[in-house]
Amino acid sequence: MQRKTWNRIIPAVAGLAATIVAALPASAHEGHHETLTVAEQVRHLFSQPDHLLALAGLVVLAVIGTWQWRRAKARK
């Protein structure tokens, strides 16, 4: 895809995602996390939908950043 296309798609997807997330009810969960062991904290991070959504976003950003970095490096 050309750069102009990406400059239109990315803001549209970001706006759509913000609209969807804003329409959902809050998914906060109860409890104090300071007393959890490391294993319980890891299980908690990978079992809660809000944490998984944040992790997925970070993975997407890392993939896009790596892809852009490799393309820029290949041009030189």
What is the pLDDT tens value at each position of the chain, 76 positions in all?
A: 566 777 888 888 888 877 776 666 665 667 777 788 999 989 988 888 878 888 899 999 999 999 999 999 998 7
Q: Read off φ and ψ for residue 70, nearest 5 degrees.
A: -65, -40
pTM of the full predicted structure? Answer: 0.53
The answer to whether 23 and 16 have CB atoms below 8 angstroms apart is no
Which parts of 1-76 fold into alpha helices (H)? 3-23, 38-47, 49-75
8 three-state secondary structure: helix
What is the spatial distance between Cα 49 and Cα 28, in angstroms, rounded to a whole number?
A: 10
